[in-house]
A = this chain, B = another copy of it.
């Protein structure tokens, strides 16, 4: 299969539940670091580390605005992971699997 070269930082970013929650949060709108920190029980430096990993995976972009850093979801990066998984769609989708079977039987 075509193994996307940039899949690793994306899957790495998605591996942590806190980071996935941050993604869900940012889907509702861009937020500064402080807002995000307020929604969790961990310290700001911990959130900052998660944000950096999300940024490395291309999942968020950061816009510096005065003394704030606005974190914005970049959903295109999620597509990288989705594409990888969807390659296996034929294996889990029964309809597709049966169609495949019919096609192969006709050969």
Q: Which of A1-57 contact B (CB under 8 A)?
A: 1, 3, 7-8, 11-12, 14-15, 17, 20-21, 23-24, 27
Query: By DSSP majority rule, is chain A's interface helix, strand, loop, or mixed?
Result: helix
Chain B residues within 8 Å of A8, by CB: 17
From known contacts A78-B88, A85-B82, infer whether A7 and B20 are also in contact, taking CB-CB under 8 Å: yes
**Chain A: interface residue count, which band?**
20 to 34
Chain B residues within 8 Å of A17, by CB: 7-8
Chain A 65-81 interface 0/1 with B at a Cβ cutoff of 8 Å (1 = within):
00000000101101101
Chain B residues within 8 Å of A89, by CB: 82
Q: How far is the CB of A5 from chain B (nearest CB, A)?
A: 11
